[in-house]
Amino acid sequence: MSPLTDAYYARTLEMLALAREKNAPTIAQLAPILGASVARGDVVHTFGSGHSEIIAREIVGRAGGLVCITSINDPTAGFIENLVGYGTKLVERYDRQYELRPGEIVIVISNSGKNSAPIEVALHAKKKGCVVVGLCALAMSTTAQTVHPEGRNLHAIADYVLDNGGVPGDAIMKLTDTVSTGPTSTFIGGSLLNWLMISAMEWLRDNGHELPVLRSQNVPGSIERNRAVGAKYKHRLSKQLA
């Protein structure tokens, strides 16, 4: 490996450990809330605009993950995430089809915390009585000027905030004085969500609740089992089971 990749590896390990330590209290708070929601038969909704959609999709239809997780999909892949009003129309259409119910968890991911679409999704979810979890880089969300007319960034709207610990611009390694590389938001964001999901599943187990967990469809018999586990949720999942 090159010196820059070695330095990136070392720095990202430090950032991952720091993110775990910093977010542990919030995850401990959220785990029983999320677990109780799943125990009631609720679903968990995720939204990520642009590259953050990768993080939102990490826990949807996931082998070893909860079946009752669904995503609010943006067909433009974030291309018009700063068109004011677009996020509202997107989440309203999703709400009509899949429903956002009071008390359900909505996880909104925006590294910058400033873009209009994720802010509007969070605002609509709050209006519907959902619990909003914002995942962002607080160093950017607390300093970048929002494009939304309301004037607030994601971290100021969310009920709970997970901080990926990233830097403004999401690139930690200097190639030259003016060019940086080495993003961190995706793998740290994915780790934060998996830590949260595992903690919620532990809560379900320890409190004697059903574990609606998917198995890899590459294991014999798993497709049929997954369909059975997901039967009561299938009309609320934007990504259908195999």
Q: What is the mean predicted confidence (pLDDT) over 127-154?
A: 94
Q: Which residues pair with 47 in a beta bridge?
A: 108
- DSSP 8-class letter at 239: S
Q: What is the mean predicted confidence (pLDDT) over 9-26?
A: 98
Share of the chain above pLDDT 90, in %: 91
Number of Cβ within 10 Å of residue 199's Cβ equals: 17
Q: What is the mean predicted confidence (pLDDT) over 109-130?
A: 97
Query: Does a structural domain hold residue 95?
Result: yes
The pLDDT value given to residue 239: 87
C-alpha distances (whole Å) from 55 to each of 3, 50, 189, 220 are 28, 10, 6, 28
Tokens encoding 215: 């198995």
Q: What is the pLDDT of residues 57-108, one digit of tens each?
A: 999 999 999 999 999 999 999 899 999 999 999 999 999 999 999 999 999 9
Helix or strand run (H / E) with residue 94: helix 86-98
Query: Does a structural domain hold residue 65?
Result: yes
Query: Does a structural domain hold residue 197?
Result: yes
Question: In this structure, are residues 72 and 238 in contact, taking their beta carbons and an 8 Å threshold?
Answer: yes
Residue 234 has pLDDT above 90, yes or no: no
Helix or strand run (H / E) with residue 132: strand 131-136
The pLDDT value given to residue 150: 86
Query: Does a structural domain hold residue 15?
Result: no
Average pLDDT, the chain: 95
Number of Cβ within 10 Å of residue 151's Cβ equals: 9
Nearest to 160 by CA among 32, 72, 11, 68: 32
**Range(s) of the domain holding residue 108:** 22-236
Q: State how far the Cα of 33 lies from the Cα of 187, in Å rounded to an integer.
A: 24
Q: State how far the Cα of 233 lies from the Cα of 41, in Å rounded to an integer.
A: 8
Nearest to 104 by CA among 236, 241, 9: 236
Query: Does a structural domain hold residue 5?
Result: no
Helix or strand run (H / E) with residue 54: helix 52-58
How would residue 170 be classed by pLDDT, with cut points 50, 70 and 90?
very high
Query: Does a structural domain hold residue 51?
Result: yes
Residue 37 has pLDDT above 90, yes or no: yes
How would residue 11 be classed by pLDDT, with cut points 50, 70 and 90?
very high
Q: What is the pLDDT of residues 175-216, one digit of tens each?
A: 999 999 999 999 999 999 999 999 999 999 999 999 999 999
Residue 158 has pLDDT above 90, yes or no: yes
CATH number at residue 216: 3.40.50.10490
The pLDDT value given to residue 147: 87
Query: Does a structural domain hold residue 174?
Result: yes
Bridging pattern class, strands 173-174 and 180-181: antiparallel
Number of Cβ within 10 Å of residue 239's Cβ equals: 11
What is the total count of domains within the chain? 1
Query: Does a structural domain hold residue 14?
Result: no
Q: What are phi and psi of 212, to 5 degrees?
A: -80, 70
The pLDDT value given to residue 242: 80
